[in-house]
Structure 1
């Protein structure tokens, strides 16, 4: 093996070992939302906010789960039908029937300079009357005590904006290959508990599938108006909260929530193409995106290929990558074996999706649910 090749294998092995060590520390210390959490204290009004656009396949079960929440005495549920063409709004109204806790609103197209989801969420927040706002995606299924569990973690931790990582449901090979990287990238790159106490925006982590924020904090940093043109509005919300001096963090929510984010490779590719350029591609610039792709290859394929060629260092790197994946998978409730053995293929797929996303961004061909993206 050439000197550059040995250096690449060594770098990949060191990165993998470091990521596995951090994952080991995080899975022990990360906060976990528990279904046996106490009831929400009296006097706390909770607004659950559900933006929906063409979600006929899942809106019914999502709303039924929201209506079944326990331990929340003062609850309102606001649904905003954001221009659906598949009857989503009618299905939501049929599930809600005459329940006084639910209102189904009709959305309007976002004005210039605003993206659809931040605009819908801002409208929901403007209509909400609670002192706690709970944003939930339609493809998320909540345990009956999920909201109570989230508020219990907030009270215990002192966090003012809390994001909960649902268990990621993966039913196809493509989903099993890529979706576990959501939790892995979080728990193997960020010191989670120290990040809770830092107000540096670079320490922000969030997933918008299940996000809870104090109303006073939301108003203080400008809410979704502050991220009106951001594709990854969840991470940007956490960054905005930290800039305003409010603590934000992410916890494991796999015991109280689940989500099948994408169904199959075609949908997964379209979904990741939409946002990866913004989260990891430095605004779609080629050089930073190429650097991230290079790191992903070092974390998976490079050590694995070296191991197949007899490199002990490559084998150590591959083993560390698989071990880190296994630790995270156990903590967040996803499949462990044999999926973690395909870690090199997973990181290679992530690099491909990032490159695909940057390419689409630079060509101006990005869309989501029928709307163009910047």
Structure 2
């Protein structure tokens, strides 16, 4: 009974923290008409994105509120006609420039080098750089609103996290955990105020940075060999004396990260071992997550069968409080909560399996992404 009560209190504390983050500290940029006067460069790295880049490009070309907007696209060794799609969509729009990338040199991973090429070859007059991924579709005032929030927060780097679109069962089980994890375990207020690089979060799908602060931090050259270049860039900004901020960007951007289960599985395999670091740390974190979320419903069922209704009630309450945390996270970030939140314990189990797989593949040097090895 005592152990189950402690479990309930721990889950309740985390759910309260999720609620405080979501209602008090999570920034919410305006999604209405906003105008910024300073020059902004939107940077779009592409590698074999011919089948899904068109909506992203059309949304970028339809941006409002940024009179001095430039869009710079890098074709990073695509073999599927991505550059042709860019030319067809852009037409003769002089705001868009298409660059041809070169293969990353030794010591660089593909995504950081593509971003660094973009930042290095962009008009130096641009005072703000907005990095966007090909699977992101922005609302008409998204760039203007993000830049305005960057300046209002007095930050060097702002990460407006997009709304993650879910369609398949795998999507619904795994993808909502992205927002839930940082809302539940990351103290947002402390993250903004503390200079500690370890207190950092960012999402590379849509990232807005002050150019001077970006260069002072070393830009993507400072994270050349990092799988999670977005989070590592945020840490580099902090190390250079800059500030970072995280925002709910669900009204500014939507992102369909993976189309199939193999893509989702391999995408998480690439990232999870980099997130958790040492295998022992990963094992501890996964064990705690399994104890806090999948264990309560199992305990409730076992207690009912054993004729211990009081224990079953406490364990069932712990399960429901954990579900409530998922509901809070989903509602705060534009996600779907019904009935997906009810399967939160299953989501955590799948996350544990994906983490184990990530370390297994890393140990055997079999991690890769888009045809390039990830070391």
TM over 0.5: yes
Give the whole-Å Cα distance in 1 for the aligned partners of 2:351 and 2:29: 28
The one of 79, 89, 92 equivalent to 2:73 is 79
The superposition leaves residues 91-128 of structure 1 with CA deviations (integer Å, 9 ceiling, x where unpaired) of 11111111111111111110111000000000000011
How do 1:175-214 and structure 2 match up within 5 A? 175-214=171-210
Task: Give ranges in structure 1 of 5+ residues lacking alignment.
Answer: none
Q: Residue 12 of structure 1 contacts residue 299 of structure 1 at CA under 8 Å; is this kept in 2?
A: yes
Residue 146 of structure 1, CA deviation: 0.3
Alignment correspondent of 2:306: none
Is the contact between residue 296 and residue 350 of structure 1 (CA under 8 Å) also seen in structure 2?
no
The 1-side partners of 2:212 and 2:6 are apart by 45
Deviation at 1:199, TM superposition (A): 1.1
Q: Does 1:25 align with 2:26?
A: no
Aligned partner of residue 203 in structure 1, secondary structure: coil
- CA deviations over 1:115-161 (Å, ceiling 9, x no partner): 00000000000011211000000000000100011012112211110
Aligned residue for 1:128? Answer: 122
RMSD between aligned residues: 1.3
Q: Normalization by structure 2: what TM-score?
A: 0.94
- CA distance, structure 2, for counterparts of residue 104 and residue 13 of structure 1: 55
Match of 1:111 among 105, 110, 119: 105
Matches within 5 A, 1:304-343: 304-310=297-303, 311-343=312-344
Structure 1 residues 10 and 74: alpha-carbon distance in aligned structure 2, compared to 1, 3 A threshold: same
Greater displacement, 162-171 / 305-314: 305-314
Q: Which residue of 2 aligns with 1:351?
A: 352
Q: Which residue of 2 aligns with 1:158?
A: 154
Equivalent residue number for residue 374 of structure 2 = 373
Q: For the residues of structure 2 that align with 1:121 and 1:34, how far apart are their CA atoms? A: 27
Query: Which of the numbers 285, 291, 294 marks the counterpart of 1:301?
Result: 294
Number of aligned residues: 364
TM-score of the aligned structures, taking structure 1 as reference length: 0.95
Unaligned runs of 5+ in 2: 304-311
